[in-house]
Amino acid sequence: MAWSSVSFESILAMIVAFLFAVAGVVNLARSGAVKRDFERWGYPAWFQLLCGALELSSAALVLGEPTRVFGLALAGAIMIGALFTLLRNREPLRHLAPALIFSALIVATVAIRS
């Protein structure tokens, strides 16, 4: 596919998929800082792995045109949970800002799709 024929929606979808794939890998890797965050938020150890798997799943679904709406819905649900967690725990802006950016990209992709 030539770049000149790629739609803005497809570009946003690729960005969303990339960000969720990276987030999924980070969660599945269970690095020290992220692991401590999940512990501080009161989640069991397996929850970080579930989040990583769901993030990778949403990334894969967003990439496919026929499954994009399901991937965006899953990504939106993930971000609602993430924002709830961050706000409930009064996390600083450095944690909240990326979650808001992810959420805005999802909303923009859905809005363009409609």
Contact predicate 82/97, CB 8 Å:
no
43-94 pLDDT per residue, tens: 999 999 999 999 999 999 999 999 999 999 999 999 999 999 999 999 998 8
Q: How far is CA 66 from CA 18, 58, 63, in A?
A: 18, 13, 9
pLDDT band (50, 70, 90) for residue 4: low
CA–CA gap between residue 23 and residue 38 (Å, rounded): 14
Q: What is the pTM of this model?
A: 0.90
Task: Specify the pLDDT at position 55.
Answer: 98
